[in-house]
Amino acid sequence: MSVKSTVPPAASPVRQMRYLKPFRQRVGEALSSYTARVLLQGLFTVFAVMTFTFFLVRLMPGNPVDIKIDQLMQTQGLTYEQARSQAAGLFDMDLNAPVGQQYLTYVQRVLRGDLGKSILSAGTPVADIIWRFLPWTLFSVGLGLLVSFALGVLIGAAMAYWRGGILDNVMTAVASILYSIPEYIIALLIILVAGVQLQLFQVGELRGGFNPDVAPGFTLEFIGSILKHATLPVITYVLATIGGWILAMKSSTISTLGEDYITVAKARGLSERRVLTAYVGRNALLPLVTRLSVSIGLVVGGSVIVEELFQYPGLGRQLLRAINGRDYTVMQGIFLIIAISVVASTIIADLMLGWLDPRVRVGQKATKG
């Protein structure tokens, strides 16, 4: 019999108020400040990349402008002054101005959405090139990544769930092999084995984004043609990335399955489906979301060789052309786009993580008692 003093455990209305109101406010504030912070960080990164690219083009020893001037002097027999002024016209910038001022002009233009003009196809605005080729890359890479992520997560989770089973053993080997092969090798294998050896398709027919005989338009035929032409690059992207997703999801799911809250959820009599989705799946997915953002960004840049191999009219192929032809304004523009896509995907992943994981929203700050 414990004799207790009669002090009530202070549950006064004042105390309730103190908890209820700031609680909602706090979550609201944290969410908005979190979003703001993420966006600001993203803007800063894009700006930093833009600056870096600019000075790289402008200041590297044997810089692109000088190389162009040399080229013009040699090929067209111009004097240095003539070549310089012609190069200046090509680069659409005043080379006599101090570097700082040139940079300011460049930034001002970029802010207005003007990325300058291509050197190779003289006169074509870089923005036009990007708008023309970016959708193809976004479509093929995006579709590939989506399929790969979804399949990889499902397979990885299933492997972890039936750990040690046939699926697990077979897929672990397959995933490890796929994970270790670079995507251009996979693309070459597809072309050589499926296309040339087995004659499953005509490599030549699948060049370009769609069949030029089909009239562009919102028709079944045209859409079908687009899908058909995207098949090979998409398969390549899926095969190249799915191994990573499978292995990551498997290990993440295994560690989640060992958590106490899974045992508790089962002990509470929850249906297997509910346990697997809201308890195992959602928690196991968290570490993969961060990974997803990194790969989205990298794949946009990494599609260069695959697009060239399949002659797919994407941005990666344009980048390769720009590098070969020393089209520096286009390179500058494409690098900017890659930077923006990396940053944007990171922001999306961060926001998704915040949506999936309440702990991130409040900036990792748990109430300690």
Partner 1 sequence: MPNDVVVSVRDLSVSYLARRGRVRAVNRASFDLHAGETLALIGESGCGKSTLNLALIRQLPKNATIDSGSILYTRRDKSVVDVLKLNKAELRRFLWSEFAMVFQGALNSLNPVIRVSDMVYDTAAAHGLNKAAAEKRALHLFEKVRLDPYRVFRAYPHELSGGMRQRVLLAMSLLLQPQVVIMDEPTTAVDILTQRSILDVLQTLREELNFSVIFISHDLAVAAEIADTIATMYAGDIVEVGPVNEVFYRPRHAYTLALLNAAPRLSAGAEELYSIPGSPPDLIHPPPGCKFHPRCTFATEVCRTVLPPLVAAEAGHQVACHHTDDVVTAYRKVSRA
Partner 2 sequence: MTPLIELKHVYRHFEVNRQRLPVLQDINLSIAANEIVCLVGESGCGKTTTGKILAGLLGPSSGEVLIEGRPRASYTGREAALLRRALQIVHQDPFASINPAHTIGQILGFPLQRHGMVRSRAELRRRIWELLTLVDLTPPGDIVNKFPHQLSGGQRQRVSIARVLTVNPRLIVADEAVSMVDVSIRIGILKMLHRLREQLNLSIVFITHDLALAKYFAWDGRIAVMYLGRIVEIGRTPDVIAHPAHPYTRALLAAVPEADPELTRHKQHLELRSEDIPRLTEIPPGCAFHPRCPFFVPGVCDTRVPPLEPPPDYNQLAACIPLVETGRLIPYTERVNPDGR
Site for partner 1 in 281-340 (CB under 8 A): 282-283, 286
Q: Which stretch binds partner 1 (CB under 8 A): 60-68, 131-139, 276-284, 305-313?
A: 276-284
Q: 269 vs 358, which CB is nearer to partner 2?
A: 358
Q: Which of 276, 279, 322, 324 is close enough to bind partner 1 by CB under 8 A?
A: 279
Q: Which of 61, 98, 217, 358 is close enough to bind partner 1 by CB under 8 A?
A: 358
Can you give the binding site for partner 2, defined by CB under 8 A? 1-7, 9-10, 363-365, 367-369
Applying CB under 8 A, does 254 fall inside the site for partner 1?
no
Applying CB under 8 A, does 274 fall inside the site for partner 1?
yes
Applying CB under 8 A, does 352 fall inside the site for partner 1?
no
Q: How far apart are the first and last CA of the chain?
A: 29
Mapped to the 3 state alphabet, what secondary structure does the chain carry?
A: CCCCCCCCCCCCHHHHHHHHHHHHHHHHHHHHHHHHHHHHHHHHHHHHHHHHHHHHHHHCCCCHHHHHHHHHHHHHCCCHHHHHHHHHHHHCCCCCCCHHHHHHHHHHHHHCCCCCECCCCCCCEHHHHHHHHHHHHHHHHHHHHHHHHHHHHHHHHHHHHCCCCHHHHHHHHHHHHHHHCCHHHHHHHHHHHHHHHCCCCCCHHHCCCCCCCCCCCCCHHHHHHHHHHHHHHHHHHHHHHHHHHHHHHHHHHHHHHCCHHHHHHHHCCCCHHHHHHHHHHHHHHHHHHHHHHHHHHHHHHHCHHHHHHCCCCCHHHHHHHHHHCCCHHHHHHHHHHHHHHHHHHHHHHHHHHHHHCHHHHCCCCCCCC
Q: Which of 29, 131, 261, 290 is close enough to bind partner 1 by CB under 8 A?
A: 261
Q: Which stretch binds partner 1 (CB under 8 A): 80-88, 219-227, 341-349, 354-362?
A: 354-362
* Residue 5 contact among partner 1, partner 2, none, beta carbon within 5 to 8 Å by kind: partner 2
Among residues 317, 353, 314, 357, the alpha carbon closest in space to that of 142 is found at 314
* Residue 170 contact among partner 2, partner 1, none, beta carbon within 5 to 8 Å by kind: none
Judge whether 2 and 311 are in contact, CB under 8 Å: no
Residue 191, both tokens: 């072309």
- Give the whole-angstrom CA distance, residue 67 versus residue 62: 7
* Residue 20 contact among partner 2, partner 1, none, beta carbon within 5 to 8 Å by kind: partner 1
Q: Which of 11, 111, 166, 215 is close enough to bind partner 1 by CB under 8 A?
A: 11
Is the CA virtual torsion 235, 239, 245, 246 positive or negative? Answer: positive
Applying CB under 8 A, does 9 fall inside the site for partner 1?
yes
* Residue 104 contact among partner 2, partner 1, none, beta carbon within 5 to 8 Å by kind: none
Closest approach of partner 2 to the CB of residue 30, in Å: 11
Applying CB under 8 A, does 273 fall inside the site for partner 1?
no
* Residue 37 contact among partner 1, partner 2, none, beta carbon within 5 to 8 Å by kind: none
Q: Which stretch binds partner 1 (CB under 8 A): 17-25, 45-53, 65-73, 117-125?
A: 17-25
By rule CB under 8 A, what count of residues binds partner 1?
A: 36
Q: 36 vs 193, which CB is nearer to partner 2?
A: 36
Applying CB under 8 A, does 357 fall inside the site for partner 1?
yes
Q: 3 vs 220, which CB is nearer to partner 2?
A: 3
The contact set with partner 1 (CB under 8 A) reads: 2, 9, 11, 15-16, 19-20, 23, 163, 259-261, 263-271, 274, 278-279, 282-283, 286, 356-359, 362, 366-369
